[in-house]
Structure 1
Amino acid sequence: MSTTILIIGGTGLIGKTIHNMLSKRDPQLKILIGTRKKDAIHNHIQLDINNLESFESLKKHSINVIIVCTKDANNHVLNYAIKHKIDYVDITKPSNELLKAHDSIKNNVIKSKIVFSSGWMGGIAPSLLYATGILAKDIQSVKMMVYYSTKDKAGSSSADFMAHNVSKPFFFYQNNVAKQTKHFLDGEDTIFHFDNQKRKVADFDIPDLYIFNQIEQIPNVRAKMTFDSKVVSAILAFMQKIGFFKMLGFREKKWIFGGSGNGDISSFEIIYADNTSKENRIVLKCDEGQSELTAFSTVLHVEKMLGNSNPKGIYFSHQLHDSKKFMDSLISNKSISIH
């Protein structure tokens, strides 16, 4: 029996990259693309996730896994997958929507594999952390440091996320108390070890804040990011401080964050402290950029789901894997290095 995978948002940057990787790794897979556009491409299905009637088109296909690469704020795809017992992985939910989606189903009887993989770069940070051998109960703090190059490829979903959320407050956690902040505030200097350059990082909202604190019970969790351009980092911080983003419409904010280069290095670092307060650091670099890393992580999650070694139920992506084996799989991609 052939395996059929539906990629919703498969015409975008990440969706296309996932499609190409899956096809190369297993040419026997049948891959369908869900798109709002009506076209004559043989494997495309017209599907509008905000229009429940359009889901009728899926019933003629025997789908094994749905990969969601587009915003599904109302969880229509999630609920469809649960109802029809289809395995599901979502890589797009911001923190507030992840919390809402998880709360809505965590007490349900689930007869498929439901995987929330919206953490940074496909939700791989917890796996990298636990691959060191440390246990969550022994970790006092985790800080994610993200480097973003303006020369990297960026799909429209990234710009949409920032346009929707740049003005909204979000929470980090200090001694299990939620503290409110906004993007690009509370800057501090740090040295990124992939190139030993000092840069100013500032607050940034990623679902790992929720995952590390609420799921893994780590009491202190924070995420900060920087751009390759010090000028860009400084301008965005200033715009946030004076409330400039509040005065802009969605289209203007999307234009600000919508630049897309041809590809560049992506890197992030996990700084963690154990019960002795000793700090340690994990450094990941991907020479092919964020789209490559996110797509490859997602492909590894899907392959694990198809392996049928995990029972049905709700997962965050790191809960699918043996952490050390997952790290070995990551670095099998020659563009990825981990220290």
Structure 2
Amino acid sequence: MSATVCVVGGYGEVGRQVCHLLAVRHPDLRILVAGHDPDRAQQVAATLPDSAAVAVEVRDADPLAGVTEPVDAVVVLSGDPGLRLLGSALARGAAVVDASEQVLAVDAVADLVAAAATADPAGSGTVPPVVLPVGWAASAAAVAVAGLLADGTAAEPYDSVEVSALLRHDDRVGPAAAAAWVDLHRSFVVWEEKRRRLARGFAEPRRTAFDAGTFRARRVSSGEQDTLVEAGIAQGVAVRLAYDHAPSALGLAALVGTGAWAFLPRSVRARLLTVDAESGTPHEVRVLARRGEAVRHLVLRDPAGRAHLAAASTVSQVERVLGLGGRVVPPGGLSYPEQAPDAAKDVEAMRQMGVEVVEE
């Protein structure tokens, strides 16, 4: 299939890998590397076979106004605080995959998508697909649960799903990903046993065994806490993060627990969470799903690191919205990766891109 994909934030830590994976897997794709810095975009575009750099500023009234060629899909990796980029893409009939990790207030997205359907000049009331991979590593863990553990639409949901990720102290994390977690101290609402309750940010530690050892994993807010429940896969979801570097883990826990973290400037918090390593190092995510007395375990391992895992999951969603590789294209409007009827193909795609996904 010949199509054009505009990757906004395509020169960031995840964006570069999204562009390269798309180019390798689909050489006939036209890739537009986009962002507010055309020079950095050009550096990435120059390494791709059929690509160009374009200037896109997400705070403009119409961010895609400067993109002169038709676009079939827009990938959002830079954040879209005013949802102007989403509106600009919908107005052009382009599908959207927003993996910026900042679209956690999905109600505003749903309202914009509904308004776009109402305003459809053709009167069809339809809009292009908008997929939000808002879970950990662009919903990689949630996709694995949906693809390998969902057991079909008639199955009872799991009583609980626990997702635990191990952050390595030398795994490169860019400033955009770090900025998405500066508010990890804030309390958030979670589902547990069909009920809602308030959970404290970076609290409720639980010792979790990973390949590298056993570490304390603490609870954080992540999109799959709602999306796996909405998809009917689980009645409650917990997401926890652990650090393999004890001083970093204890220091961050102390800052959050004492309340000092909230008083630090956001720029300082982002800087403390940024890892300026030369490359990615192995990233591991463990998933535990309970239904009654039955317990199932999934493990995701990415030797290339957390950013690569997010890129691989994002690429699988681009393939989904474009129908590449025989994928079932989602209906117009808003959906999540774990709602795909062929989520097992997402898992297979991630495996082809070097991610190990196994049930133990």
* TM-score, normalised by the number of residues in structure 1: 0.90
Q: 1:102 to 1:72 in 2, by over 3 A?
A: same
Residues 75-112 of structure 1, C-alpha deviations (whole Å, 9 max, x = no match) = 11212222221111010134632343235435844331
SS at match of 1:226: strand
Return the offset for 1:178: 2.5
SS at match of 2:93: coil
The worse-fitting range, judged by mean Cα deviation, of 127-136 and 166-175 is 127-136
- 2:193 is aligned to 175
Letter in 2 for 1:112: P
Question: In the aligned structure 1, how far is the partner of 2:343 from the partner of 2:249?
Answer: 33
Alignment of 1:223-238 (within 5 A): 223-238=239-254
- Is 1:260 matched with 2:279? no
Question: In the aligned structure 2, how far is the partner of 1:215 from the partner of 1:222?
Answer: 15
The worse-fitting range, judged by mean Cα deviation, of 265-274 and 216-225 is 216-225
Alignment of 1:1-339 (within 5 A): 2-39=2-39, 41=42, 43-58=52-67, 60-94=68-102, 96-105=104-113, 108=117, 109-130=125-146, 131-132=148-149, 134-135=151-152, 137-163=156-182, 165-192=183-210, 194-195=211-212, 197-216=213-232, 218-261=234-277, 262-274=279-291, 276-307=292-323, 309-313=328-332, 314-320=334-340, 322-339=342-359
1:190–1:199 CA contact under 8 A, matched in 2: yes
Q: 1:307 to 1:220 in 2, by over 3 A?
A: closer
Q: 1:106 to 1:223 in 2, by over 3 A?
A: farther
Gaps of 5+ in 2: 46-51, 118-124
Residues 37-77 of structure 1, C-alpha deviations (whole Å, 9 max, x = no match) = 2449472211111111543212x211011000111122112
SS at match of 1:139: coil
2:141–2:285 CA contact under 8 A, matched in 1: no
The worse-fitting range, judged by mean Cα deviation, of 148-157 and 24-33 is 24-33
Question: In the aligned structure 1, how far is the partner of 2:346 from the partner of 2:184?
Answer: 32
Letter in 1 for 2:15: G
Question: In the aligned structure 2, how far is the partner of 1:6 from the partner of 1:325?
Answer: 23
2:144–2:357 CA contact under 8 A, matched in 1: no
The worse-fitting range, judged by mean Cα deviation, of 65-74 and 34-43 is 34-43
SS at match of 2:159: strand
* TM-score, normalised by the number of residues in structure 2: 0.85
Question: In the aligned structure 2, how far is the partner of 1:175 from the partner of 1:153?
Answer: 36
CA RMSD of aligned residues (A): 2.3
The worse-fitting range, judged by mean Cα deviation, of 315-324 and 22-31 is 315-324
1:331–1:338 CA contact under 8 A, matched in 2: no
Letter in 1 for 2:10: G
Question: In the aligned structure 1, how far is the partner of 2:244 from the partner of 2:114?
Answer: 39
Letter in 2 for 1:328: E
The worse-fitting range, judged by mean Cα deviation, of 289-298 and 304-313 is 304-313
Size of the alignment, in residue pairs? 334
Q: 1:332 to 1:33 in 2, by over 3 A?
A: closer
SS at match of 2:253: helix
Question: In the aligned structure 1, how far is the partner of 2:37 from the partner of 2:354?
Answer: 35
Question: In the aligned structure 2, how far is the partner of 1:264 from the partner of 1:250?
Answer: 26
Letter in 2 for 1:235: G
SS at match of 2:315: helix
Return the offset for 1:22: 1.1
SS at match of 2:275: coil
Q: 1:217 to 1:283 in 2, by over 3 A?
A: closer
Identity %: 18
Question: In the aligned structure 2, how far is the partner of 1:74 from the partner of 1:171?
Answer: 23
Question: In the aligned structure 2, how far is the partner of 1:191 from the partner of 1:281?
Answer: 12
Return the offset for 1:337: 4.1
Return the offset for 1:280: 1.7
SS at match of 1:5: strand
Q: 1:17 to 1:38 in 2, by over 3 A?
A: closer
Return the offset for 1:2: 3.9
Question: In the aligned structure 1, how far is the partner of 2:354 from the partner of 2:71?
Answer: 31
SS at match of 2:353: coil
Question: In the aligned structure 2, how far is the partner of 1:5 from the partner of 1:233?
Answer: 39
